[in-house]
Each structure stands twice: as structure tokens, then as C-alpha cells.
Amino acid sequence: MKRYHLKIKKQILSIIIFVLLTSLAVAQPDVRAYDEEKIGMPRFNLDGMTFLSENPLKTRVIIYVEIMHDNLQFVQSTRGFEAEYEVDLSVLAGKDISAPRYSSAVWRTKVLSAEYEETNSRSIYDVSDTAFDLPPGEYYLVATLTDLESKRQSEEKTLIRVPNYTLSNLQFGEILLAKDIRLATDDYFEIVPNADRIIRNVKQPLFVYYEIYPYEADELDIYYRVLNDQGNIVNETTFKSAVVKPITRDYFPLDISNYHHGHYVVEVQVSANGQKAMQSANFKVLLAGLPKTVNDLDEAIRQARYITGGKELRVMLDSKPSRKEKLFRDFWKNLDPSPGTPTNEKMEEYYRRVHHANEMFGSFREGWETDMGEVYIRFGPPSDIERHPFDINQKPYEIWRYYDLKRQFVFVDEMGFGEYRLVTNLWR
């Protein structure tokens, strides 16, 4: 894996951080043709982190994008292989896309690769970033990334909350999770961040970097604990930390070798002179090779019912954990459209659709279990949606059209509670 380093000076902060990408790829071939317009899209991740600013009325915000090499189009050049992309970023002062623009930035980045194999890599990334000093509040980030060679674009949006850091009392800055960290010189920490907070290799420790603004404290008591998704404590430790003013920067390694697939949260609390402050960071441990939207193996098996029969699912669900995982992997391996590559595009796309169905169509049931969710998972996004929510003497209904399949599906909200049921035949 290519290593990008985050250098943090002990008194003056300088940051470059990045987030791993879950890319979207090909669609499900046995229920509809591949979504060609989605293949090769320059998918990327967008995020931001906040730190103490030199301006006492504002907070320093580092906004960054990260894209894996496989999502860029490289061309051969005299220097090897080159790609170039442009980011157009808008910072909106509010909670959604309707908020007014507060600031913006546009930048271009060239990516060089010496070997052809690196151009298709899903473990090598390019990161670029920009910084703003923003007043405390909520901001909506909208970024468009354009691959300047293929001319394809992808858009990402995210909401960030900018706190107010001051040196007038004990405060705790944001936690940064890292794959590796060391003191490079007397002035700099060198960090390889894990900014998407996804763990794929539990054999390596997870590093927790933090900043404390100690005010009048002379010694800091640090307590941290890690909770799993059932709320159980799986790790906790207490230690003392020396104070460096005006900002104390430090880190500790977290042994995750016994952590299982699922969600976790690390909580860190600092105490000094009767004052306390706390920060937390969520992270996720994945079974290697699974999409990051898969949180529970049993649930992922049940969700596969639109692509296989119930008997095969029951065999997987009734198996012991180690056997269950093997059967699940073998099932998707047999459907992999590109078995020579590290990513199973069909599995990625299938569970991307499941995740989208849960986000869009859930009500009294999980979105993937609804009629709309099933159609979306089987056939992908419709070419056109005709909505009729308020027709006179008619129950609310929608018509989904798939022009490439020459199909349409009609959904009716029979009970008036927002769950639309399919009233046309799924298979004609």
C-alpha cells in the first residue's frame, strides 16, 4: 500500500489526511444489464476535521478528498503513467443543499504512477486537501470530482459540525484514527491515517491520536474505553500524560487483534484540576473482502435472497460461524465477474443497492424487504419515476420505468402510511 504521511508539528499543525474509498462498480448481470454509466466513475470520499485555529473567533477545518487509483483513468507518458483530476468544492453555511454558500475552492491534482499495475490498484490512493478558518456552526460540503482524462464526474456531499475551540478552559480536539504513527523529528508526528475508520487487518494495532488544550493543567489523567455494538466494554485503560502548552498532542496504540466484525466506538476522557472533557470516534471492523456497508454476516446472507434460493441461504444461516463465512465467500466468489481482481464488483454493487434501499424505502420494515427495495435491488435505479401523491379519488402511486428493459412497475400506497406495494407482476 502506498503510504501518505500526515505531518503534525508539535506546536504548529500541518495536516494531510485521507479516507479509504468504497467504490461503486458493475451491476447485477443476471437480473439486468450492467449499468454502464456507473462503471469507471471517479468515486471518492469527502470529509473534514477540525482543529484549534490561530484566529480565536474561528476553527481550522481541513477538508480533504481521497480517490483510489482504480477509479482514475491513467495514460502512458514519458514519466510512466499519469492521471489528473479537478475538485470543485462548495462550503454551504447550513445543514443541506439549500444553504447559502460561505466559501469555495477549486484545485487540480496530477497523479503519477511508475508501474501499470498501480494504475488499477484498489489499495493505492491519492489524497488532496484544502483548509478554511470557519466560524463555529454546521456546514454542508458539496464536492464534484472530475477525471480530466475521461471527463467523468462524481459528486459527494457531507455535513460537518465545527466546534468552538478556545484556550480558556480544558478542551479536547477531534480524535484521529491512524494505521501508523511515530515521532519523525523533535517537531513532527508522522501519521498514516485511517480516516474512513474501517479496519481490514486486525493483526495491526489501531493508533488513536488526540489533541488536548490544557489551559491551566499541569498533569492530565487519560481514560479510554472501547465499546462494541452491543454496548459492552472490550478494552479500557487509564494513564497519566504530561502537559505541553498551549496544545498537548499525543497518541496511544490500540490492540484490536481479538476484535470481531462489527461497529465499535473508542471514547477518550481527560481530567485535570476538577475539569473533564471527552471525545469519541467510531470505527468498523470488516471481514476482509466484504463491502463496508455489510455490518452483520447473518443479515447479509438474508439480504441475498433476491439473487439465490432460500435453501442455499438456510444452509449458510444454519452453519457454524467459520463454515458460514466460508460458504458466504464461496457463494459470491462464484458470481465474481472479474475473479482475477481483488474486488468482487457484483457483490459491491448488490450491497450498495441494499444500503440505498434501506436509506430510501424503509418504514415499518427494513428498506431492502419492501417491494420498492426489492425492485431497486434486482433492477437498479429506474430510468424514470412518475409520482402521483395527491390525485383526486386515487391512492398515492408511483410508476417506475426501465427503458432498457422495456419494463415498468406500479407501486400503490394502499394504507396511506407511505409503504408502496407492487401491484404489477415482478416477472411480467
* Res 144: pLDDT: 97
Of the residues 361, 391, 420, which one is the last residue of a structural domain? 361
**Domain for residue 26, yes or no?**
yes
* Res 40: pLDDT: 55
Based on the fold, state whether residues 303 and 391 are members of the same structural domain.
no
Of the residues 257, 286, 315, which one is the last residue of a structural domain? 286
For the domain that residue 201 is a member of, what is the CATH number? 2.60.40.3880
**Domain for residue 5, yes or no?**
no
Based on the fold, state whether residues 127 and 21 are members of the same structural domain.
yes
Region 284-306: mean pLDDT is 85
39 falls in which pLDDT band (50, 70, 90)?
A: very low
pTM of the model: 0.64
The Cα 146–Cα 84 span in angstroms is 9
Based on the fold, state whether residues 65 and 41 are members of the same structural domain.
yes
**Domain for residue 368, yes or no?**
no
**Domain for residue 27, yes or no?**
yes
Question: Which residue from 222, 282, 275, 280 is spatially nearest to 249, judged by alpha carbons?
Answer: 222
Of the residues 141, 163, 185, which one is the last residue of a structural domain? 163
Region 255-282: mean pLDDT is 91
Based on the fold, state whether residues 141 and 24 are members of the same structural domain.
yes
What domain range includes position 306? 294-361
pLDDT surpassing 60 at residue 50: yes
The Cα 310–Cα 302 span in angstroms is 9
Based on the fold, state whether residues 318 and 349 are members of the same structural domain.
yes
Spatial neighbors of 198 by CB under 8 A, at least 6 apart, are 20, 283, 284, 286, 292
pLDDT digits (tens, 9 = 90+) for 205-228: 999 999 898 888 889 999 999 999
**Domain for residue 184, yes or no?**
no
CB neighbour burial string for 298-313, b if at least 16 within 10 angstroms, e if fewer? eebbbbbebbeeeeeb
Based on the fold, state whether residues 35 and 152 are members of the same structural domain.
yes
pLDDT digits (tens, 9 = 90+) for 116-163: 999 988 768 788 889 999 999 999 999 999 999 999 999 999 999 999
Q: What are phi and psi of 344, to 5 degrees?
A: -95, 95
Based on the fold, state whether residues 28 and 129 are members of the same structural domain.
yes
| Single-letter residue type at 83 | A
Based on the fold, state whether residues 347 and 234 are members of the same structural domain.
no
211 and 247 in contact (C-beta within 8 Å)?
Answer: yes
Based on the fold, state whether residues 65 and 154 are members of the same structural domain.
yes
Based on the fold, state whether residues 386 and 281 are members of the same structural domain.
no
**Domain for residue 233, yes or no?**
yes
Domain count, the chain: 4
Based on the fold, state whether residues 133 and 64 are members of the same structural domain.
yes
The Cα 277–Cα 416 span in angstroms is 47
Residue 42 half-sphere exposure, CB side, CA atoms within 13 Å? Answer: 28
**Domain for residue 11, yes or no?**
no
Based on the fold, state whether residues 233 and 218 are members of the same structural domain.
yes
**Domain for residue 412, yes or no?**
yes
The Cα 163–Cα 173 span in angstroms is 9
* Residue, of 355 and 106, whose pLDDT is higher: 106
Residue whose C-alpha cell reads 462464484 in the numeric block: 334
pLDDT averaged over every residue in the chain: 85
